[in-house]
Amino acid sequence: MITFDRVTKRYPDGTVAVDDLSLEVPTGGITVFVGPSGCGKTTSLRMINRMIDPSEGRVLLDGVDVTTVDPPTLRRGIGYVIQQAGLFPHRKIVDNVATVPQLLGWDRRKARDRAMELLERVGLDTGLANRYPFQLSGGQQQRVGVARALAADPPVLLMDEPFSAVDPIVRASLQDELLRLQAELHKTIVFVTHDIDEAVKLGDRVAVLQVGGHLAQLDDPATLLARPADGFVREFLGRDRGIRRLSFVPGAGLGLRGDLTVPVSADVASARGTAEPWLAVVDPDGGPLGWAATAGLPESGTFEAVPLAPYGTFVRDRDSLRAALDAALLSPSGNAIAVDDSGRAEGVVTREVLDEALVLAAREASRVAGETRADEGPGEAGGAREAADGR
Ligand SMILES: Nc1ncnc2c1ncn2[C@@H]1O[C@H](COP(=O)(O)OP(=O)(O)OP(=O)(O)O)[C@@H](O)[C@H]1O
């Protein structure tokens, strides 16, 4: 566990970057520091590995004040990933990753074997191992940066805007990769970003910081979205807070219709006279192909000859209500196709079922918000107070 105990950082010119920060970063989870530019995220992060020392207060790593440990020893247990990877430009990829193990005294061969294993683990083609950083894309370089930080198997990982220099698609895949790795490795990760979407996707807990280095709120993402502590947090979370909250409502409870799918080999006659406007057509393996409008079916033949409209899918056991809604919005039918992990259609979630789920989710949100008001009295002072206390 990492503990910030009333930490203040005042730079020599008088700038207070972090002001009386108290919070705990639990072992084995991802804690995200998020906030606008200049709110003290990087300064806070760097006080963990002693790139910066606090002016007042203490940062404790498993109960030990980090300023009592010499920086090289401390950093052996703390991986560090920065924006644009920060790779050594004149070293090959494999040597970039093997650097820290070699510094720790591993022999060259063992260090390189470990580097190759890690490159594979972060989803990088090991064929790239003998290239130089400039020969890799931004996303590939970030993966190398993560592999390098993991090389000495440190229990703690500090990540400072590691994915902000890559395009949104690569960024999403790097985020997914990090979550996949974390499910295996259970590192204690402190992740800095200014992007609230990234924060709620990655964080087990999210600390929202305000310029001047004040902690505005510390909560799990679902609570943060449901109960912003004050006007600053609400504004920072943005307009589509309601939609984002749906990411934390499981799709598993959505009712399925099994009678709205039809094999592509079926005779169109089997669908004639149905009151259903749309049927989901599936291939022989059960994979969705598209939606058939029953009003325009030909006289005879199979569904092979029927023009199909676009569709969207979601994995019912794993995905959220937001994913289900997105799947429905991708199709003119307004319905979502639920699939299993291997992509086979399990059934259809109709827009009526989605409507009902949205109403329930909205009621739940109002209930939680209502509880906030009841708990904390009028206005938002209570929430702000709670956040300021780091609760
Ligand atoms: N060496 C320094 N000397 C003086 N002021 C500094 C120094 N480093 C940072 N600051 C100031 O401290 C404040 C916090 O900076 P910090 O880099 O921690 O913010 P941040 O939240 O990480 O910002 P960004 O998202 O823009 O990277 C800012 O006002 C910044 O200008």
Which residues surround ligand 1 with Cβ inside 6 Å?
11, 13, 15, 17, 35, 37-43, 194
pLDDT digits (tens, 9 = 90+) for 284-324: 999 999 999 999 899 889 999 999 999 999 998 889 999 99
Same domain, yes or no: 101 and 229: yes
> Which atom of ligand 1 is nearest the CA belonging to 40?
18
Closest CA to 278 of 299, 266, 265, 296: 296
pLDDT digits (tens, 9 = 90+) for 118-152: 888 878 888 888 998 888 888 888 888 888 888 87
Q: Pick the residue with more confidence: 309 or 103?
A: 309
> What span, in angstroms and rounded, lies between the C-alpha atoms of 348 and 59?
52
**Structural domain ending residue among the three candidates 199, 222, 247:** 247
pTM score, two decimals?
Answer: 0.77
> What span, in angstroms and rounded, lies between the C-alpha atoms of 371 and 378?
11
In a domain, 378, yes or no: no
CATH of the domain at 76: 3.40.50.300
Q: Which residues contact 321 (CB under 8 A, 6 or more apart)?
A: 246, 249, 250, 251, 254, 354, 357, 358, 361
Q: Pick the residue with more confidence: 391 or 84?
A: 84
Same domain, yes or no: 10 and 139: yes
> What span, in angstroms and rounded, lies between the C-alpha atoms of 358 and 124?
39
For the beta carbon of residue 377, count every other beta carbon within 10 angstroms.
Answer: 9
Separation of 43 CA from ligand 1 center, angstroms? Answer: 6
Separation of 11 CA from ligand 1 center, angstroms? Answer: 9
Q: pLDDT value at position 376? A: 46
CATH of the domain at 302: 3.10.580.10
Phi-psi region of 69 (alpha: psi -120 to 50; beta: other; left: phi over 0): beta
Q: Where are the alpha helices (DSSP H) in 81-166?
A: 93-103, 108-121, 138-150
Same domain, yes or no: 221 and 309: no
Same domain, yes or no: 75 and 200: yes
Nearest CA to ligand 1 atom 25: 37
Q: How many domains does the chain have?
A: 2
> Which value, in Å, is the radius of gyration of the alpha carbons in the chain?
25
Q: pLDDT value at position 374? A: 47
Q: How many residues are present in the chain?
A: 391
- Are the CB atoms for 211 and 38 separated by under 8 Å? yes
> What span, in angstroms and rounded, lies between the C-alpha atoms of 217 and 226?
12
Instruction: Look up the domain containing 119 and give its range.
Output: 2-247
Any idea what DSSP says for residue 270?
G
For the beta carbon of residue 169, count every other beta carbon within 10 angstroms.
Answer: 9
Separation of 171 CA from ligand 1 center, angstroms? Answer: 24
pLDDT digits (tens, 9 = 90+) for 166-204: 777 778 887 888 888 888 889 999 999 998 989 999 999
> What span, in angstroms and rounded, lies between the C-alpha atoms of 258 and 384?
48
